[in-house]
């Protein structure tokens, strides 16, 4: 009974960490007091572990807030009973917290913050050296970063060229530089040659989901040029698949 209680506490706490950082970092770039995920007004520290009613908007929490708590507990139990061979329970949960934070912020703000990438890079470097050694870890990180940097630059050139042809200015980007940094982090974590599979899976997932999304938009008559989906979740999904399932 005690281990299950401990697993529940760790899972709920993991969700609290993701919710807190996803609410404050994009708004303040600092570890400020908790804020309402809906309106951004300051809340008490009690709300970190149990969402209290916001004085400003009178909401107790967003769907995302509760979803992250539930996902944290669920992930904790899955990892407890089926720990990944290369990470184990505790490291597996730690990386899911990091990946969850990246995904939530990217979906809500279309951002992958540089400080988040920097912390992830340090974590991935240490973890990668333990898993693969110095050489394969650094090669994987460099390869992931450079490949995504090429895609980033090609995306910028494509949008600028297409904008000139259409005679319309656009500030949209196919990939953000945060995606480039994230690919480097995941490259360090997966090492060489694992990063190759990670990028291929992410590209395939991104292409399939983006194609379906644009098709639905076209059918509904809501298509707009240069509309792009956040790419971070696809990189995260590929890394999770390779680290936790294969």
Q: Note the pLDDT tens digit of each residue in 139-197.
A: 999 999 999 999 999 888 877 776 676 666 655 666 789 999 999 999 999 999 999 99
The C-alpha atoms of residue 227 and residue 216 are separated, in whole angstroms, by 13
CA distance 163 to 175: 16
pLDDT digits over 206-225, tens only? 989 888 887 887 787 776 65
The model's pTM: 0.92
Q: Quote the CA–CA distance of 214 and 224 in Å, as a whole number.
A: 9
- Of the candidates 109, 124, 128, the one whose C-alpha atom is nearest the C-alpha of residue 182 is 124
Contact 154, 209 (CB under 8 A): no
As a whole number of angstroms, the distance between CA 127 and CA 130 comes to: 5
pLDDT at 77: 97
């Amino acid at each position: 009974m005690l281990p299950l209680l401990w697993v529940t506490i760790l899972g709920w706490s993991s969700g609290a960490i993701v919710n807190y950082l996803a609410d404050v970092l994009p708004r303040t770039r600092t570890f400020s007091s908790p804020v309402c995920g809906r309106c951004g007004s300051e809340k008490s520290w009690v709300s970190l572990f149990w969402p209290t009613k916001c004085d400003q908007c009178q909401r107790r929490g967003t769907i995302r807030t509760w979803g992250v708590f539930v996902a944290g507990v669920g992930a904790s139990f899955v990892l407890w009973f089926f720990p990944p061979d290369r990470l184990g329970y505790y490291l597996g949960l730690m990386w899911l917290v990091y990946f969850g934070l990246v995904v939530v912020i990217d979906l809500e703000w279309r951002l992958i913050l540089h400080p988040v990438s920097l912390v992830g890079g340090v974590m991935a470097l240490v973890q990668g050296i333990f898993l693969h050694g110095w050489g394969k870890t650094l090669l994987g990180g460099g390869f992931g970063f450079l490949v995504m940097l090429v895609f980033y630059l090609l995306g910028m050139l494509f949008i600028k060229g297409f904008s000139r042809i259409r005679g319309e200015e656009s500030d949209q980007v196919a990939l953000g530089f945060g995606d480039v940094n994230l690919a480097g982090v995941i490259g360090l974590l997966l090492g060489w040659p694992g990063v190759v599979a990670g990028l291929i899976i992410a590209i395939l997932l991104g292409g399939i989901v983006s194609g379906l999304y644009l098709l639905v938009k076209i059918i509904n008559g809501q298509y707009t040029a240069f509309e792009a989906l956040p790419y971070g979740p696809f990189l995260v999904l590929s890394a999770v698949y390779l680290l936790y399932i294969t």
